[in-house]
Chain A
Amino acid sequence: MSPSVRLQEMIRVIRSARTQGEERGVIQRECAAIRAQFRQADNGGRSHNLAKLLYVHMLGYPAHFGQMECVRLIASPRYNEKRVGYLGAMMLLDENQDASLLITNSIKNDLAHSSQYVQSLALCTLACMGSAEMCRDLAPEIDRLLRASSSYIKKKATLCAVHIVRKVPELGELFTPAARALLAEKNHGVLHGAVILITELCERNAQTLVQFREAVPELVHIMRGLVTSGYSPEHTVAGISDPFLQVRILRLLRILGRNNDTASDAMNDLLAQVATNTDSSKTAGSAVLYETVLTVMDIKSESGLRVLAVNILGRFLLNNDRNIRYISMTSLQKIVSTDHNAVQRHRGTIVDCLKDQDASVKRRALELSLALVSAINIRSMMKELLLFLSTCPPELKSHAASGIFNAAERYSPSQRWHIDTILHVLITAGADVRDETVPNLIQLITNASQLHCYTVHKLYRALVADISQQPLVQVACWCIGEYGDSLLQGDCEETEPIQVTEDDILDALETVLQSHMSSPATRGFALTATMKLSTRITENVDRIRSIVSIYGSCMDVELQQRAVEYNALFKKYDHMRAAVLEKMPVMDRSSMGQTNGESGGGGVQELEPTKPKQPEMMVAPQPASQVCDLLDLLSDPEEPSLPGGPLGPGGAPLGPAGLMSGSAGGDLLYLLGGLELTPTPTPATAPAAVTVYDKSGVVLKLSCERPLDASQTITLTATNTSDHDVSSLTLQAAVPKNVQLQMKAPSGDSLPARSSAVVTQTVLLNNPNKVSLKMRVRLSYTSQGSPFQDTVQIDSFPTPGL
């Protein structure tokens, strides 16, 4: 039986195994036999055994015991054994294996072999899996082969050099002279390899790039020869003369012409010629045209040529072949920012591609459509985009929704249109919108005061229809709470009048409250809306009262807190209820949260839009890591000087270095502070301190350093007016989302009795989005042996004194 059939026999046996277990058994037997054969002396069947092993390896079974056999076979004088040996090396050995170094010598010998097929094996293996050391070792050999050998070997040596340059870029200099000479070759294979080599060299080395710019005329000449000259059957594919070489030359021209006027000028004519003459009915032609377009857009081409390129892309868009449409949209995406008008011309086709079956094409079309939206076409584009949103695959929904919002924000022709659009998105893709959408929409609605009636009617209808989309439900609840009276009036000029009774509204809100689909945040919205309605409606106030009191014992802490507070509003503070639940003023997104300094009641109402945001809790960072900051604290001249010295007893734990400098600095300041006999009058620029907390003798004051803009410094000062010492004082602060908080190390943590010393802590706030600024501060301390904890909400920040 000839050995080759043995291999095929084994394959047949393995394939006929009916179960995985049976296959494993067969393979184990074969592997054992192969291992035994490897251990024997040369018996003429080595190559076939290795081939069998390679088949087994391809099926996914381990074959590392064949590595040494590969090394042995490579060193064999017989060609068939070398061939399989090298194949095994490429499959089983990679540069991470130790055995790969062992074949370096064999490769070196084979590179100088008399038979070019043996040389080609060595070159192929080196180019496939050569490690950096192997490349360094063998680079001179490759260079020699590049200069003097048959074209068969030259083309392989060139690609081997490409691999070497990719692995060890410094060796590029070695190959540069040879590469330059190779451009004069006539053989297409060698030329192709040479162009790739030059591309690699130019991409990695700027000087080489400059050097090869001189070769542009030569490349143009070669390219022109390919495009215009006669028919060469050997290299022609679908009527295009050697498209592989053409594409490669175009890519090299792109790199050479980039940012360089002379080179770009030299290739202008050629590119125009290729662009107009290439027949793109088959893939080969389209490939060449595609590369041409990429080159034209990347170099400094004249505008006529650019228009031509964009038109080619437009033609591609109409092609029946989906691949070509995809390619053209990818390219259009790259140029939409620079050649916006040119791409706009093809907007219609791009929008049609939104309806394509293929998900990748849809994605490209979506990105391109969003980039093409402008003030002029916003209405029609939005129609298409909204249609797309309702039918698009789920992975694209959130991208589409956020894109639509951005576009609507930038180009909406009217407020009503804007609100309509957002509502539409919320109804179709409510689950996929971002969190900021709800407060943004609410802010938009409050600003459009003439549309309140219209908006609330629309939202009510949407709410009644479907309560599963959380953002929509939240906005709807909020609006109904605010503008419920408009809803009850029933007539609105912009939409169909419907008859809504108070019970209907309360039913709707109650459904939201009780539904399992509502998230806790939504429930919060609904409860507050219900409460607000108590001032807007006249008859069912009792119903509201009962709803609110039920939730007073709700499991959800947030709802419970709200319900209890609202209950309190009904009972003790009924006189304040109307004022508290007034309509909200127009919110300006960019204004700071300069509230009117109301008490907690007003704070409840103003807090709503931010309630869904989770306040960030930031624990005061370990003082050990804030050594420098502590020193800053001490050296800050704006610190309001405090009676009795700036530092309490240095109770704050510091790193050893910090301790020294901290206390040293402190002592210094204490000395300075102690020289003052009277409490130092605060400097003119020191801000006024506002008492924000005063309970059981512990007083917390707050002062702001700078005017209320994006970033400011707040100082919290704690004093103890009681008769007992307070120790282990810690302050923690929470701010709304999007505000950044940094708490510096406190000056200390104990407050001796009767205000003999104070503790200060600086808080840095950064409010880039200018949301309304609030802070919740939690104090924890120990007094008379028992721990206390309390929280205070700060809604208004004092303006700094002028």
Chain B
Amino acid sequence: MRFMLLFSRQGKLRLQKWYVPLGDQEKRRLGRELVQTILGRKAKMCSFLEWRDLKVVYKRYASLYFCCAIEEQDNELITLEVIHRYVELLDKYFGSVCELDIIFNFEKAYFILDEFLLGGEAQETSKKSVLKAIEQADQLQEVRAVYLPRPLIPLISQAF
């Protein structure tokens, strides 16, 4: 995987993970253009598109778009599964996750992603193991988050 972007329906970036070395300006430009391209697509259209020289796989869960840019030889369908697995992990961790959870706890979203994907590839195929590892890592931290806002629209149940 080259990079993964999460953005809202208004085009605001909620998470970006880049696995290729690019300058800040370049990343911003690419991100903006790709976001515009995907937001311009209609609801029932294909989840795959060829954009520039990349294959892009995206899926919308409630108000968030999850978008991955993969290599030429990568399997698009399994990337859809990777995206779904990540959403499931977030859901299990936050308990019926919604966009606000990811906004206010973005660093945790990153930690979960880093426990699931490493260097752009899936490192653990068992959901249980990933969640256990995150739990134990959290326990190492002395500071705990005290207040999480109530979930509004759970992401999973409105998956398209």
Interface SS of B by simple majority: mixed
B107 contacts which of A59, A87, A243, A286 (Cβ < 8 Å)?
A87
Q: A94 near B126 (CB under 8 angstroms)?
A: no
Q: B125 near A242 (CB under 8 angstroms)?
A: yes
A8 to B24, CA, bound (A): 25
Which residues of chain B come closer than 8 Å to A124, judged between CB atoms? 114, 118
- Measured CB to CB, the residues of B under 8 A from A are 13-19, 21-24, 28, 42, 44-50, 73, 75-78, 80-82, 84-85, 103-104, 106-107, 110-111, 114-115, 118-119, 121-129, 133, 136-137, 140-147
Q: A4-B146, A156-B123, A159-B121 are in contact. Are A360 and B21 (CB under 8 A)?
A: no
Q: A80-B141, A96-B23 are in contact. Are A156 and B118 (CB under 8 A)?
A: yes
Q: A124-B114, A127-B119, A196-B121 are in contact. Are A327 and B140 (CB under 8 A)?
A: no
Q: 10 nearest interchain CB pairs?
A: A127-B119, A287-B77, A80-B141, A159-B118, A287-B78, A189-B124, A163-B119, A234-B126, A79-B140, A95-B21
Q: A244 near B107 (CB under 8 angstroms)?
A: no
A768 CB–B CB distance under 8 Å? no
Q: B143 near A2 (CB under 8 angstroms)?
A: yes
Nearest-neighbor residue (CB-CB) of B144 within chain A: A4
Q: B49 near A360 (CB under 8 angstroms)?
A: yes
B44 contacts which of A123, A283, A286, A322 (Cβ < 8 Å)?
A322
Q: A80-B141, A115-B140, A287-B81 are in contact. Are A87 and B123 (CB under 8 A)?
A: no
Q: B127 near A234 (CB under 8 angstroms)?
A: yes
Q: B81 near A51 (CB under 8 angstroms)?
A: no
Q: A245 near B23 (CB under 8 angstroms)?
A: no
Q: A188 near B123 (CB under 8 angstroms)?
A: no
A286 to B76, CA, bound (A): 10
Q: How far is the CB of B94 from chain A (nearest CB, A)?
A: 14
Which residues of chain A come closer than 8 Å to B15, judged between CB atoms? 58
Q: B128 near A234 (CB under 8 angstroms)?
A: yes
Q: A360 near B45 (CB under 8 angstroms)?
A: yes
Q: How far is the CB of B66 from chain A (nearest CB, A)?
A: 14
Nearest-neighbor residue (CB-CB) of A286 within chain B: B77
Which residues of chain A come closer than 8 Å to B115, judged between CB atoms? 120
A358 to B46, CA, bound (A): 7
Q: How far is the CB of B36 from chain A (nearest CB, A)?
A: 15
Interface SS of A by simple majority: helix
Which residues of chain B come closer than 8 Å to A323, judged between CB atoms? 46-48, 76-77, 80
Q: A4-B146, A15-B103, A235-B126 are in contact. Are A162 and B141 (CB under 8 A)?
A: no
A129 contacts which of B21, B78, B85, B104 (Cβ < 8 Å)?
B21
Which residues of chain A come closer than 8 Å to B126, judged between CB atoms? 188-189, 234-235
Which residues of chain B come closer than 8 Å to A577, judged between CB atoms? none
Which residues of chain A come closer than 8 Å to B142, judged between CB atoms? 80
A661 to B5, CA, bound (A): 66
A152 CB–B CB distance under 8 Å? yes
A11 contacts which of B28, B104, B127 (Cβ < 8 Å)?
B104
A405 CB–B CB distance under 8 Å? no
A520 to B15, CA, bound (A): 55
Q: A235-B126, A323-B46 are in contact. Are A117 and B118 (CB under 8 A)?
A: no
Q: A5 near B146 (CB under 8 angstroms)?
A: yes
B81 contacts which of A84, A95, A243 (Cβ < 8 Å)?
A243
A131 to B107, CA, bound (A): 24
Q: B147 near A5 (CB under 8 angstroms)?
A: yes
Q: B44 near A357 (CB under 8 angstroms)?
A: yes
A128 to B3, CA, bound (A): 10
A523 to B78, CA, bound (A): 58
Q: How far is the CB of B133 from chain A (nearest CB, A)?
A: 7
Q: A87-B107, A163-B119, A323-B47 are in contact. Are A235 and B143 (CB under 8 A)?
A: no
Q: A251 near B73 (CB under 8 angstroms)?
A: yes
A242 to B82, CA, bound (A): 12
Q: A327 near B44 (CB under 8 angstroms)?
A: no
Which residues of chain A come closer than 8 Å to B17, judged between CB atoms? 90, 128
Which residues of chain B come closer than 8 Å to A291, judged between CB atoms? 75, 78
Q: How far is the CB of B118 from chain A (nearest CB, A)?
A: 4
Q: How large is the interface on A (under 10, 10 to 19, 20 to 34, 35 or more residues)?
A: 35 or more
A3 CB–B CB distance under 8 Å? yes
Q: A79-B140, A117-B137, A159-B119 are in contact. Are A358 and B110 (CB under 8 A)?
A: no
Q: How far is the CB of A412 from chain B (nearest CB, A)?
A: 33
Q: How far is the CB of A292 from chain B (nearest CB, A)?
A: 11
Which residues of chain A come closer than 8 Å to B44, judged between CB atoms? 322, 357-358
A192 CB–B CB distance under 8 Å? yes
Q: B143 near A193 (CB under 8 angstroms)?
A: no
Q: A80-B142, A234-B128, A286-B77 are in contact. Are A244 and B45 (CB under 8 A)?
A: no
Q: B121 near A189 (CB under 8 angstroms)?
A: no
A244 to B127, CA, bound (A): 12
A155 CB–B CB distance under 8 Å? yes
Q: B124 near A237 (CB under 8 angstroms)?
A: no
Q: How far is the CB of A84 from chain B (nearest CB, A)?
A: 7
Which residues of chain B come closer than 8 Å to A290, judged between CB atoms? 75, 77
Q: How far is the CB of B102 from chain A (nearest CB, A)?
A: 11
Which residues of chain A come closer than 8 Å to B111, judged between CB atoms? 83, 87
Q: How far is the CB of B127 from chain A (nearest CB, A)?
A: 7
Which residues of A, 258-307, contact B by the 8 Å Cβ criterion? 283-284, 286-287, 290-291
A4 to B137, CA, bound (A): 17
A326 CB–B CB distance under 8 Å? yes
Q: 6 more A-B contacts (CB under 8 A) besides A235-B126, A251-B73? A: A11-B103, A60-B13, A94-B18, A128-B118, A163-B119, A358-B44
A58 contacts which of B16, B119, B124 (Cβ < 8 Å)?
B16
A160 CB–B CB distance under 8 Å? yes
A54 CB–B CB distance under 8 Å? yes
A-B contact pairs, 15 of them (CB 8 A): A80-B143, A87-B114, A96-B21, A96-B23, A152-B133, A193-B121, A243-B81, A244-B78, A283-B84, A322-B47, A323-B46, A323-B76, A326-B46, A358-B46, A361-B46
Which residues of chain B come closer than 8 Å to A12, judged between CB atoms? 104
Which residues of chain B come closer than 8 Å to A3, judged between CB atoms? 143
Which residues of chain A come closer than 8 Å to B14, judged between CB atoms? 58
Q: A192 near B123 (CB under 8 angstroms)?
A: yes
Q: B45 near A117 (CB under 8 angstroms)?
A: no
Q: A123-B118, A323-B47 are in contact. Are A193 and B123 (CB under 8 A)?
A: yes
Q: A287 near B47 (CB under 8 angstroms)?
A: no
Which residues of A, 74-131, contact B by the 8 Å Cβ criterion? 79-80, 83-84, 87, 90, 94-96, 115, 117, 120, 123-124, 127-129, 131
A80 to B13, CA, bound (A): 25
A628 to B89, CA, bound (A): 71
Which residues of chain A come closer than 8 Å to B107, judged between CB atoms? 51, 54, 84, 87
A247 CB–B CB distance under 8 Å? yes
Q: B141 near A326 (CB under 8 angstroms)?
A: no
Which residues of chain A come closer than 8 Å to B13, judged between CB atoms? 58-60
Q: A58 near B106 (CB under 8 angstroms)?
A: yes
Which residues of chain B come closer than 8 Å to A115, judged between CB atoms? 140
A454 CB–B CB distance under 8 Å? no
0/1 interface trace, chain A 47-85, chain B, CB 8 Å (1 if under): 000010011001110100000000000000001100110
Q: How far is the CB of A55 from chain B (nearest CB, A)?
A: 6
Q: B123 near A189 (CB under 8 angstroms)?
A: yes
Q: A117 near B140 (CB under 8 angstroms)?
A: yes
A287 to B49, CA, bound (A): 17
Q: A192 near B122 (CB under 8 angstroms)?
A: yes
A245 to B126, CA, bound (A): 11
Q: A234-B128, A283-B77, A322-B44 are in contact. Are A244 and B21 (CB under 8 A)?
A: no
Interface centre among A62, A123, A244, A290 (most CB of B within 10 A): A244
Q: A55 near B123 (CB under 8 angstroms)?
A: no
Which residues of chain A come closer than 8 Å to B145, judged between CB atoms? 4
Which residues of chain B come closer than 8 Å to A162, judged between CB atoms? 119, 121
Q: How far is the CB of A469 from chain B (nearest CB, A)?
A: 30
Which residues of chain B come closer than 8 Å to A251, judged between CB atoms? 73, 75
Which residues of A, 299-346, contact B by the 8 Å Cβ criterion? 322-324, 326-327
